[in-house]
C-alpha cells in the first residue's frame, strides 16, 4: 500500500517487520512527497493522480514507481513510501494509502514460496539402493514367471488343478507365465521398502526432538535454544567437509564497542574506555532490569536532580571522568532507577556498547568549542581548523545514520482505532460505484509544483521549493520534558548567547586542577533517549558521539536535531540520505548546516573506497593541500594499526556545496528517482556523482569481540577433518587478525596473500604457489624467498601447514571458469582460507563452487541478511540468532545461539544422527529382503504359482506391526559412543564424514546376509518336516515365528547400546505377535479345512519340536554375523569400537587413554605431513608490478 496520509504530524508511520525479516526494531515509512502537509485524512474518492509502479516481485528492499498528477508532474516512489503486507503499524494512530499489490501479488506472498526442500546425501543413496531393490524384484518375478511357464509345459495333459476359462478355453503356458509375473509383483512387493520412508521420517523427528531438548544448546543470555527448521537433513550434520563462516556476528559477538578514533591526523586512544572494557563483566539480566542500563543512554547525560551544583562544579579528575562517561556510578544508578529500561527491547543497546568513556585529551579540546570558534574556523589558525574538524567529525557520527530516536516511556504500541474505523460501513454497491467514479474522474489540482517551473528559478529557490526524497527519517515525537530541554538548549544558540543564571550548569574542567582556567562544558537536563539502529556500527558511533555530549535528540523528515556542547541545539535541515549499499560501501547524508547555512554532505564508509574519493592536490588550495595530505597519510597509518588490532574501521569525510552545485545534482537525481527502468543504476550514478572531492575528517576503530568458545570450536572441527573458510566483508588486516585470534590460522602457518588486478596475473601467481607446494624438497632454510617475500618454516615441525588470504577483487578473477580448478586445487593444499572484502554474491558463488566441483558436503553459517544466499546454497545452512535480525535464521536449516554450539551439533548429534539412520536403513533393507525371500523360496515347491504359505493377515501385519517399532527405536536411541568421548576425540567424526557406515559394499553384504538367513529360516523347518503331512499354514506359521526371532535378535546384535527401552520394545513385539496369532487362530475359522489357520498357534505351543526348530533356526542364521562382530571387535577394532571401550573405564583411566590417543594422532599427523607434503622450494623469478600486483605474503605469525 502506497502511504498517502499518516496521523503523525511529520508524515511518518512507524512499522515493525518482524513477520517479514525477523527484525523487531522500529522502521519508518514516509508519506509520499507532497502529501505530508495534509491536515485531515485524505478522501480516496478525491484522489485523481495516477500511480505507475513495477511489476509484482518478491524484493522486499526495493520498490520503483511514481505518482503522476493531472498536470503531468511526477513524484518518485521508493520502499519508504510502501507499507508491506504482514508488517505491524506501531505508534501511529491512522494511515491511509492506495493498494498497489493485492492477494498473491503482494511481496509477502511472493516470498512465501513454501519450504525450501533439501535432500540429504543419505536420502539420495537410499533412492539409488531402492532402484537396485526394484531390479532385484523384477528378476525374482521373472524367475517365477519363467519357472511357472516351464512347470506347466512339463505336463503332457491338462493338469487337474487348471481351472478353464469361461467357454472351456484353457490358458496357454506363456499367458499363464505372464499372469504369474504380475502375481509375483503383488506377492513380493514388500521387497520395495515403502514403509522405509515413513520410518525414516519418524526417526528424523525423534532425532530432532533430542537435538532441540539438549540442554547444552540453551543460551541463558538470550533465553533461547537451538531451532531445527529442517527435519530431513539431520544426518547431513555428520558428513560435513567444508564450513563457510561469516565473521561479524558469527565468530564475534556483534557488539560493536567504540575503541579508538583519529581526527585530523591526531589519534585518541581512549585508554580509560579500554580499561573499562578490560574489567567489564556483563551483569545478569535481572540486574540489568533493576539497574540503569537504558538503551542509548550514557549515564552522564542523566538529569541532575537533587544534587548540589557546588559538588558538580569541581574539576574533572579520574573519578569524575568515569562519573561523566557513564560508568556504573551512583549518579547513573540513582537517576536511572526511576525509568524503565529499554535495553531488553532494543538491539545494540547493552551497557558494554552504550557506556563509552571519553578520551581526556579530546574532551579538553571539546571544551574549547563555541559558536564563535566555529565561525572563525575558516581562519588559518591551526587551533580553529582542528576545532572545525572535531566538530564536523562528531556531527557526522551523530547525523550520518538512519537511527530512530525514541524515549523509553514510549513503548511499541499497536495502533489505535483510527477515524477510518469509525466511518459508517458502506455497502458493496456503494463501494463499487465509488471505484467507478474514481476510474473516470480526474481533478486538475496537483499537490506539487511543476519541475519545469522550479528549474527555471534561482538555485536557492529551487532548493527551497523542491523537497528531496528521504530514505529513512524521523522519530517519535519527544515528550514534554524533551521539548523543554530542547528549548533550554536553543537558548545557547548564537542569538541567545546569554544563558539565564537560573539554569543548572555543570562546569567540567578537563585534566586541570580546581583553580585552572579552562572552558567548561555546560550540562543541561536531558531526556532519556533510545536509539534504534539497523546495524551495530551505527549504534556504536551514535553512542560514542553521545559520550561527548554530541547528542542526537530527534529526527524528522525535514530535520535532524543535535545537541552540541558550546553550540547549543543545532537543527539541520535534512535534504537527502544516500543509504549504504554493498557496491558503494558507504552512506551519505545531505544537510543544510544551521551555522554556516551551507549544503554539507557527510559521508562514512570503508577506507578502501573512501580514500579514492578525497580531494586531490590540484583541487585544494596551496595552503591546505599539504595539511590534508598529511592528514590522509596519518589517518591511513592509524587505519592500518586499527586493522592489525582487529578493529573494524570506518572513514569519515565531508563536502561543502553551493546551492547552485546542489541544485544541478538534484535535478539529475530527481529524474533518476522518477524513472522505473534502470532506476538502481541511475541512482547509483547519481550517488557517485555527489560523493566526490571529499575532505577527510578522521577515522574510527570499533571492536567486535570474539564469542565465547570460538577458538576451541574451530580447533575441534579442524581435528575432525573439516576445512573452515572465513568469508567476510572486512579489510584484510582485520580478517587475518581475527583468524589468528580464533585460531583459524596458527602462528606457524605460512600465509599466502593473493592479490591481483587482472586474471592473467592471478593465474600466474597461483601456478607459482602450486609449483612451490608440489615440489618435495627435503628441507627449506628459514629466510629463503617464496615469491617476493621471505617465508620461513618452523624447524620444529617436519610438515607444513598453509593458509590462503584472498580479497574480493581477486575473487572476481578466481571465480572465472578458466581459473576455478586451479583455485580449488590451491585451496585443497591449505588448511584454512580467509576471503576478505567479499560480497554476499561472492560468498554464495564460492559455496556453490566447492559443492559442485569438489562434490563436498558444505555447511554455511551466518547471522545477517548478507549471509542468506550463502546459507541457502550450502547443503546445510546454520543461522545464528544474533543482533542483526532474523533473516539468516529464517533462511537456515538449523539456528543456534552461539558459534560454539556447532561443536556439539556436528561432532555429537551429527555423528549420532548419521550412524543411527544408516544402520536403521540397512536393517530395513535386510529385514524386507530376508522376509520376502521366504515367500520366494516357497515358490520352488508350489510350481511358482504365487501362493503364500502364510495367511495374508499375518503377511500384512508382519512388517506393519510386529517388526516396525524396534527399528524406529534403534534409529532414535542407539548410541555407539558417548557424547563426552566424541567431544574429546573429534577424530571420530571422520568415520561418519567418510560415509564408512554406508558404503556400496556394505549394502550388498547386507543383502547377501539377508539371503543367507532367509535360506536358513526356510530350509531348516522344511527338512525338519520333510515327508510329513504338515499343512501349509502350520508350515508357514513355523517359518514366520522363526523369522520374527531372527529379525529381532539380529537387531540386538547390531545395537551398540541396549537400553531398557530396546528390551521393552523387542519383548513387547514378540509378545504382541504371539497374542495376535493366538487370538487370530482361535477366532478365524474358514470354510476350507485344508487351509484353515484355526488353532494352529495353539497346537504349535504344545509341540516341543516347534521350540527346538525356532531355536536352531535362529542360532544357525545369526551365527555368521555374530562371529563377524566378535572377530571385528577383538582382532580388528575400528576407531568407534575403540572409543566405545573408553566408556567402560574409570574417569582416571579414561583421561589417560584419551591422552595417549591424542598423542598417537599427533605423531601420525606429523608423519603423514612429512611423507606427503615435504617442504617448499624457493620459487625463482619475480613478477613485476606491471604484470601483477599479486604477491605471496606471509602474514605476521604473532596473533593479536
- Region at 295 (left for phi over 0; alpha for psi -120 to 50; beta for the rest): beta
Task: Output the nine-digit C-alpha cell for 658.
Answer: 553551493
User: Are the C-beta atoms of residues 204 and 228 closer than 8 Å to each other?
Assistant: no
How far is it, in rounded angstroms, from Cα 547 to Cα 300? 8
How far is it, in rounded angstroms, from Cα 1098 to Cα 1086? 17
User: Are the C-beta atoms of residues 840 and 790 closer than 8 Å to each other?
Assistant: no
In the block, which residue shows the cell 500511480? 51
How far is it, in rounded angstroms, from Cα 651 to Cα 635? 9
Task: Output the nine-digit C-alpha cell for 692.
Answer: 566526490
User: Are the C-beta atoms of residues 838 and 582 closer than 8 Å to each other?
Assistant: no
- Count the neighbouring beta carbons within 10 Å of the beta carbon of residue 123: 18
- Count the neighbouring beta carbons within 10 Å of the beta carbon of residue 1198: 7
What is the 3-state secondary structure of 567-621?
CEEEEEEEEEEECCCCCCCEEEEEEECCCCCCEEEEEEECHHHHHHHECCHHHCC
Q: List, as one string, the DSSP characters of 29-98.
A: EEPPTTSTT-SSPPPGGG---EEEEPPP---TT---EEEE-TTS-EEEE-GGGBPPTT-EEES-S-EEEE
How far is it, in rounded angstroms, from Cα 797 to Cα 1166? 7
Burial of 1055-1065, coded b for 16+ CB within 10 Å and e otherwise, reads: beeeeeebeeb
Give the 3-state secondary structure percentages of the chain, helix then strand then coil, rounded to 5: 50, 15, 40
How far is it, in rounded angstroms, from Cα 750 to Cα 826? 13
User: For the chain, how big is the Rg over CA atoms in Å?
Assistant: 38
- Region at 394 (left for phi over 0; alpha for psi -120 to 50; beta for the rest): alpha
By three-state DSSP, how is residue 895 classified?
A: strand
Strand pairing category for 858-862 and 242-245: parallel
How far is it, in rounded angstroms, from Cα 1025 to Cα 297? 91
User: Are the C-beta atoms of residues 244 and 848 closer than 8 Å to each other?
Assistant: no
User: Are the C-beta atoms of residues 733 and 753 closer than 8 Å to each other?
Assistant: no
How far is it, in rounded angstroms, from Cα 587 to Cα 118? 38
Instruction: Tell me which of 21, 73, 246, 563 is the catalytic residue.
Output: 246
Catalytic annotation on 246?
yes
Strand pairing category for 65-68 and 74-77: antiparallel
How far is it, in rounded angstroms, from Cα 365 to Cα 390? 8
User: Are the C-beta atoms of residues 1016 and 881 closer than 8 Å to each other?
Assistant: no
How far is it, in rounded angstroms, from Cα 293 to Cα 355? 9
User: Are the C-beta atoms of residues 326 and 361 closer than 8 Å to each other?
Assistant: no
Task: Output the nine-digit C-alpha cell for 1087.
Answer: 470354510
How far is it, in rounded angstroms, from Cα 805 to Cα 608? 17
User: Are the C-beta atoms of residues 28 and 472 closer than 8 Å to each other?
Assistant: yes
Measured in degrees and rounded to the nearest 5, phi and psi for residue 878 equal -120, 125
How far is it, in rounded angstroms, from Cα 711 to Cα 718? 11
By three-state DSSP, how is residue 633 classified?
A: helix
What is the 3-state secondary structure of 951-1002?
CHHHHHHHHHHHCCHHHHHHHHHCCCCCHHHHHHCHHHHHHHHCCHHHCHHH
Q: Which residues are catalytic?
A: 246
Amino acid at each position: 500500500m502506497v502511504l498517502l496520509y499518516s496521523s503523525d504530524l511529520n508524515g511518518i508511520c512507524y512499522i515493525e517487520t518482524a513477520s517479514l525479516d525477523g527484525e523487531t526494531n522500529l522502521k519508518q515509512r514516509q508519506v509520499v512527497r507532497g502529501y505530508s502537509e495534509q491536515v485531515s485524512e485524505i478522501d480516496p474518492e478525491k484522489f485523481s493522480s495516477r500511480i505507475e509502479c513495477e511489476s509484482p516481485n518478491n524484493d522486499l528492499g526495493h520498490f520503483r514507481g511514481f505518482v503522476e498528477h493531472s498536470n503531468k508532474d511526477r513524484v518518485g516512489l521508493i520502499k519508504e513510501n510502501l507499507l508491506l503486507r504482514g508488517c505491524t503499524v506501531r505508534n501511529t494512530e491512522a494511515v491511509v494509502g492506495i493498494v498497489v499489490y493485492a492477494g498473491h501479488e503482494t511481496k509477502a506472498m511472493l516470498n512465501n514460496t513454501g519450504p525450501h526442500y533439501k535432500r540429504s546425501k543419505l536420502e539420495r543413496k537410499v533412492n539409488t539402493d531402492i532402484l537396485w531393490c526394484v531390479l532385484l524384484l523384477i528378476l525374482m518375478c521373472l524367475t517365477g514367471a519363467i519357472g511357472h511357464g516351464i512347470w506347466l509345459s512339463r505336463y503332457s495333459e491338462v493338469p487337474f488343478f487348471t481351472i478353464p476359462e469361461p467357454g472351456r478355453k484353457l490358458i496357454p503356458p506363456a499367458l499363464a507365465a505372464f499372469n504369474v509375473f504380475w502375481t509375483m509383483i503383488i506377492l513380493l512387493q514388500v521387497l520395495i521398502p515403502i514403509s522405509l520412508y515413513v520410518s525414516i521420517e519418524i526417526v528424523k523427528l525423534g532425532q530432532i526432538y533430542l537435538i532441540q531438548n539438549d540442554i547444552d544448546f540453551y543460551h541463558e543470555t538470550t533465553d533461547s535454544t537451538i531451532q531445527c527448521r529442517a527435519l530431513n537433513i539431520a544426518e547431513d550434520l555428520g558428513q560435513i567437509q567444508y564450513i563457510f563462516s561469516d565473521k561479524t556476528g558469527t565468530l564475534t559477538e556483534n557488539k560493536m564497542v567504540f575503541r579508538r578514533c583519529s581526527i585530523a591526523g591526531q589519534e585518541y586512544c581512549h585508554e580509560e574506555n579500554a580499561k573499562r572494557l578490560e574489567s567489564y563483566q556483563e551483569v545478569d539480566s535481572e540486574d540489568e532490569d533493576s539497574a540503569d542500563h537504558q538503551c542509548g543512554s550514557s549515564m552522564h547525560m542523566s538529569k541532575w536532580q537533587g544534587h548540589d551544583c557546588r559538588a558538580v562544579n569541581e574539576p574533572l579528575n579520574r573519578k569524575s571522568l568515569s562519573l561523566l562517561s557513564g560508568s556504573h556510578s551512583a549518579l547513573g544508578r540513582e537517576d536511572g532507577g526511576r525509568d524503565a529500561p529499554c535495553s531488553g527491547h532494543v538491539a545494540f543497546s547493552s551497557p558494554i556498547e552504550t557506556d563509552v568513556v571519553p578520551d581526556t585529551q579530546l574532551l579538553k579540546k571539546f571544551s574549547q568549542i563555541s559558536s564563535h570558534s566555529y565561525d572563525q574556523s575558516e581562519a588559518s589558525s591551526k587551533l580553529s581548523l582542528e576545532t572545525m574538524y572535531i566538530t564536523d567529525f562528531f556531527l557526522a557520527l551523530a547525523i550520518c545514520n538512519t537511527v530512530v530516536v525514541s524515549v523509553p516511556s514510549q513503548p511499541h504500541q499497536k495502533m489505535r482505532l483510527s477515524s477510518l474505523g469509525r466511518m459508517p460501513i458502506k455497502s458493496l454497491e456503494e463501494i463499487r460505484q465509488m471505484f467507478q467514479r474514481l476510474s473516470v474522474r480526474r481533478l486538475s489540482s496537483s499537490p506539487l509544483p511543476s519541475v519545469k517551473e522550479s528549474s527555471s528559478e534561482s538555485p536557492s529557490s529551487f532548493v527551497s521549493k523542491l523537497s528531496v526524497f528521504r530514505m529513512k527519517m524521523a522519530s517519535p515525537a519527544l515528550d514534554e520534558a524533551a521539548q523543554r530541554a530542547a528549548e533550554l538548549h536553543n537558548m545557547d544558540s548564537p542569538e541567545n548567547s546569554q544563558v539565564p543564571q537560573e539554569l543548572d550548569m555543570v562546569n567540567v574542567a578537563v585534566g586541570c586542577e580546581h583553580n585552572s582556567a579552562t572552558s567548561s562544558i555546560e550540562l543541561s537536563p536531558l531526556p532519556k533517549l533510545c536509539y534504534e539502529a539497523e546495524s551495530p556500527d551505527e549504534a556504536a558511533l551514535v553512542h560514542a558521539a553521545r559520550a561527548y555530549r554530541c547528542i542526537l535528540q530527534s529526527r524528522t523528515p525535514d530535520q535532524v536535531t543535535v545537541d552540541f556542547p558550546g553550540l547549543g541545539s543545532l537543527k539541520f535541515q535534512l535534504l537527502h540520505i544516500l543509504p549504504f549499499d554493498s557496491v558503494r560501501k558507504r552512506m551519505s547524508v545531505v544537510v543544510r548546516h544551521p551555522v554556516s547555512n551551507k549544503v554539507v554532505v557527510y559521508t562514512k564508509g570503508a577506507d578502501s573506497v573512501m580514500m579514492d574519493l578525497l580531494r586531490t592536490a590540484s583541487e585544494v588550495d596551496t595552503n591546505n593541500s599539504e595539511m590534508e595530505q598529511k592528514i590522509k597519510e596519518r589517518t591511513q597509518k592509524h587505519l592500518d594499526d586499527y586493522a592489525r588490532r582487529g578493529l573494524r574501521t570506518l572513514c569519515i569525510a565531508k563536502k561543502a556545496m553551493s546551492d547552485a552545485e546542489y541544485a544541478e545534482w538534484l535535478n539529475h537525481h530527481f529524474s533518476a528517482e522518477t524513472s522505473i527502468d534502470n532506476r538502481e543504476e541511475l541512482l547509483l550514478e547519481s550517488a557517485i556523482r555527489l560523493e566526490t572531492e571529499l575532505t577527510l575528517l578522521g577515522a574510527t576503530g570499533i571492536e567486535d569481540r570474539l564469542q565465547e568458545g570460538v577458538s576451541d570450536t574451530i580447533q575441534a572441527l579442524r581435528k575432525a577433518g573439516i576445512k573452515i573458510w572465513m568469508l567476510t566483508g572486512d579489510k584484510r588486516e582485520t580478517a587475518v587478525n581475527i583468524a589468528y585470534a580464533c585460531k583459524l590460522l596458527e602462528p606457524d602457518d605460512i600465509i599466502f596473500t593473493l592479490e591481483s588486478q587482472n586474471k592473467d596475473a592471478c593465474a600466474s601467481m597461483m601456478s607459482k604457489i602450486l609449483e612451490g607446494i608440489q615440489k618435495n624438497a627435503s628441507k627449506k632454510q628459514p629466510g629463503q624467498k617464496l615469491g617476493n617475500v621471505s617465508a620461513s618454516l618452523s624447524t620444529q615441525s617436519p610438515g607444513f601447514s598453509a593458509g590462503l588470504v584472498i580479497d574480493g577483487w581477486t575473487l572476481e578473477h578466481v571465480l572465472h571458469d578458466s581459473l576455478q580448478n586451479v583455485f580449488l586445487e590451491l585451496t585443497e593444499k591449505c588448511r584454512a582460507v580467509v576471503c576478505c572484502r567479499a560480497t554476499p554474491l561472492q560468498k554464495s558463488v564460492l559455496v556453490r563452487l566447492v559443492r559442485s566441483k569438489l562434490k563436498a558436503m558444505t555447511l554455511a553459517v551466518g547471522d545477517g541478511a548478507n549471509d542468506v544466499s550463502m546459507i541457502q546454497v550450502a547443503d546445510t545452512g546454520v543461522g545464528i540468532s544474533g543482533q542483526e535480525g532474523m533473516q539468516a535464521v529464517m533462511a537456515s536449516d538449523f539456528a543456534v545461539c552461539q558459534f560454539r554450539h556447532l561443536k556439539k551439533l556436528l561432532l555429537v548429534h551429527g555423528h549420532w544422527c548419521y550412524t543411527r539412520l544408516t544402520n536403521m536403513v540397512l536393517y530395513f533393507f535386510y529385514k524386507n529382503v530376508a522376509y520376502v525371500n521366504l515367500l520366494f523360496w516357497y515358490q520352488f515347491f508350489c510350481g511358482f504359482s504365487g501362493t503364500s504359505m502364510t495367511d495374508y493377515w499375518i503377511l500384512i501385519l508382519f512388517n506393519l506391526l510386529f517388526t516396525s517399532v524396534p527399528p524406529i527405536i534403534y534409529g532414535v536411541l542407539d548410541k555407539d559412543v558417548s557424547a563426552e568421548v566424541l567431544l574429546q576425540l573429534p577424530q571420530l567424526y571422520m568415520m561418519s564424514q567418510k560415509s564408512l557406515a554406508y558404503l556400496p559394499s556394505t549394502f550388498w553384504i547386507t543383502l547377501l546376509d539377508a539371503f543367507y538367513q532367509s535360506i536358513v529360516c526356510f530350509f531348516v523347518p522344511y527338512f525338519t518336516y520333510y515327508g510329513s503331512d504338515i499343512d501349509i499354514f502350520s508350515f508357514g506359521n513355523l517359518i514366520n515365528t522363526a523369522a520374527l526371532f531372527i529379525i529381532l535378535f539380529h537387531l540386538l546384535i547390531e545395537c551398540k547400546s541396549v537400553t531398557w527401552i530396546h528390551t521393552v520394545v523387542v519383548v513387547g513385539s514378540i509378545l504382541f505377535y504371539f497374542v495376535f496369532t493366538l487370538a487370530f487362530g482361535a477366532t478365524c475359522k474358514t470354510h476350507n479345512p485344508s487351509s484353515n489357520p484355526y488353532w494352529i498357534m495353539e497346537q504349535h505351543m504344545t509341540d516341543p519340536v516347534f521350540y527346538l526348530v525356532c531355536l536352531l533356526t535362529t542360532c544357525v542364521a545369526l551365527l555368521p554375523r555374530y562371529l563377524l562382530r566378535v572377530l571385528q571387535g577383538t582382532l580388528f577394532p575400528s576407531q568407534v569400537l575403540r572409543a566405545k571401550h573408553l566408556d567402560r573405564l574409570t574417569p582416571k583411566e579414561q583421561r589417560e587413554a584419551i591422552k595417549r590417543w591424542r598423542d598417537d594422532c599427533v605423531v601420525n599427523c606429523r608423519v603423514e605431513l612429512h611423507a606427503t607434503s615435504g617442504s617448499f622450494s624457493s620459487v625463482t623469478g619475480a613478477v613485476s608490478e606491471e604484470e601483477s600486483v599479486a604477491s605471496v605474503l606471509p602474514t605476521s605469525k604473532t596473533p593479536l
